[in-house]
Amino acid sequence: MHVLVFDSGVGGLSVVAEMRKLMSDIYITYVADDAFRPYGEKTETQLKERLPGLLKIMALAVNPDVVVIACNTASTTALAEIRAALDIPVIGVVPAVKPAAQMSKTKTIAVLGTPGTVKRKYVDKLIADFGNGCQVVLHGSIGLVDLAERKLSGQDINIDDIHVEIKPMFLVEQGEKIDVVVLACTHFPLLMKQLKEAAPQQVRWIDSGAAIARRTASVLNKQTLNKVPDYPQTALLIGGQENVTRVKVFAKFGFAKTVIL
């Protein structure tokens, strides 16, 4: 079973980790669009113009069974267009509003995503359909994307910087009642330890990684699978830069080779 996992950077690795836990024999090709990150600051038009063609080329090049868009910003903006461009199943990442809203005792949750994701109509609809009567605080941060990238490139992360990014989310009216936070960007689970430390109050942090892994397994189960490549599992970094720590991080997540395109 060969899955192409796509993100703007290292965020999709939080999904890869869940996939490897669930499917020990999975073969993954990882594609990071380093050249165009951060997606959270791009317009809907920019993402809709870039992503279908890019994913089509990558899928033709590596011939996976399934494509997983391990990026909330891309999924909430251009999933339909990407699906239309490909003739294999495409799985997207949806902010976990439904489980979070069911879990909240105070009926107050937050959705922490990129500035792009929290503006999308897609998220408004999720809240309308699955918000379970909760008050929902929407908070966008692009700084956390950069901090996750820096952490996985071996740079020190200052907890005060994380605090600055999330503090406003708890300062809105009723913010002190937030008891569940949806991590609506795949980069953010990579900062779990730091987020817990920086949060001014005790909350549960929910991400979609495990759910996406389960969905991928079920889609793969229903398919006739292609032969997996006879080269090692590879991370393809579009326009990325040589960075020894990053290469080691990709190796830790199961990618024996890192190639810069």
> Under rule CB under 6 A, how many of the chain's residues touch ligand DGL?
17
**Separation between Cα atoms, residue 13 and residue 126, nearest integer Å:** 24
Asked whether position 114 contacts ligand DGL by CB under 6 A, the answer is: yes
Asked whether position 117 contacts ligand DGL by CB under 6 A, the answer is: yes
- Rg of the chain taking only CA atoms, in angstroms: 18
The stretch near ligand DGL (CB under 6 A) out of 32-40, 80-88, 99-107, 233-241 is: 32-40
- Range 132-171, binding ligand DGL (CB under 6 A): 145
Distance of CA 129 to the CA centre of its chain: 22
Enclosing H/E stretch for 112: strand 108-113
The stretch near ligand DGL (CB under 6 A) out of 36-44, 52-60, 81-89, 230-238 is: 36-44
Closer to ligand DGL by Cβ: residue 42 or 98: 42
- Range 71-110, binding ligand DGL (CB under 6 A): 71-73
Asked whether position 39 contacts ligand DGL by CB under 6 A, the answer is: yes
Asked whether position 13 contacts ligand DGL by CB under 6 A, the answer is: no
> Which residue matches tokens 């990053």?
246
Asked whether position 7 contacts ligand DGL by CB under 6 A, the answer is: yes
At closest approach, how far in Å is the CB of 77 from ligand DGL?
9
The overall longest dimension of the chain from CA atoms, in Å, is: 56
Would residue 185 show up in a list of annotated catalytic residues for this protein?
yes
- Range 219-258, binding ligand DGL (CB under 6 A): none
Asked whether position 208 contacts ligand DGL by CB under 6 A, the answer is: no
At closest approach, how far in Å is the CB of 252 from ligand DGL?
18
Asked whether position 212 contacts ligand DGL by CB under 6 A, the answer is: no
Task: Name the nearest CA neighbour of 195 among 208, 181, 209.
Answer: 181
Enclosing H/E stretch for 183: strand 180-184
The residue within the footprint of ligand DGL, chosen from 98, 139, 187, 215 (CB under 6 A), is 187
**Cis status of the peptide bond prior to 52, with omega within 30 of 0:** no
Enclosing H/E stretch for 3: strand 2-7
CA distances from 83 to 8, 32, 71 (A): 18, 19, 15
Are 181 and 101 in contact by the 8 Å Cβ rule? The answer is no
At closest approach, how far in Å is the CB of 188 from ligand DGL?
8
Q: What is the DSSP letter of 24?
A: T
Asked whether position 213 contacts ligand DGL by CB under 6 A, the answer is: no
Q: What is the DSSP letter of 238?
A: T
Asked whether position 189 contacts ligand DGL by CB under 6 A, the answer is: no
Sheet of 180-184, strands arranged across:
135-140, 108-113, 180-184, 204-206
* Amino acid (1-letter code) at residue 194: Q
Which one of the listed residues 10, 71, 90, 195 is annotated catalytic?
A: 71
Which one of the listed residues 58, 70, 185, 249 is annotated catalytic?
A: 185
Which residues form the interface with ligand DGL (CB under 6 A)?
Answer: 7-9, 11, 37-40, 71-73, 114, 117, 145, 185-187
Instruction: Give the residue numbers annotated as catalytic, written as ranges.
Output: 71, 185
